[in-house]
Amino acid sequence: MKLEEAYQIAEKIKKQLEPYCDRIAIAGSLRREKTDVKDIEIVAIPNDRFQLGLIVNKWKKIRGEVGGKYLQRELPERINLDLFFANEKNWGYIFAIRTGSAEYSHKVLATGWLKAGYKGVDGMLTKNKQEIEVREEEDLFKLIGVEYVEPRLRG
Which residue from 49, 40, 144 is spatially nearest to 99, judged by alpha carbons?
40
The phi, psi pair for 95, rounded to 5°, reads -60, -40
Mean pLDDT of 49-65: 98
The whole-number pLDDT of residue 97 equals 97
Mean pLDDT of 82-101: 98
pLDDT in tens, 128-154: 999 999 999 999 999 999 999 999 999
Which residue from 86, 93, 101, 90 is spatially nearest to 39, judged by alpha carbons?
101
3-state secondary structure of 32: coil
Mean pLDDT of 95-114: 97
The whole-number pLDDT of residue 38 equals 97
The whole-number pLDDT of residue 103 equals 97
* DSSP 8-state assignment for residue 97: H
Percent of the chain with pLDDT strictly greater than 90? 99
Strand blocks (E) in the chain: 21-26, 39-46, 60-64, 70-74, 80-85, 119-121, 124-127, 130-132
CA pair distance 81, 56, nearest whole angstrom: 9
The whole-number pLDDT of residue 57 equals 97
Mean pLDDT of 61-67: 97
Q: What type of residue is 4?
A: E
The whole-number pLDDT of residue 111 equals 96
The whole-number pLDDT of residue 119 equals 96
List C-alpha distances in Å: 147 to 7, 25, 53.
27, 22, 38
Mean pLDDT of 116-136: 96
The whole-number pLDDT of residue 86 equals 98
- pTM exceeds 0.75: yes
Mean pLDDT of 96-113: 97
Count of C-beta atoms within a 10 Å radius of residue 27: 24
Which residue from 43, 33, 35, 49 is spatially nearest to 13, judged by alpha carbons?
43
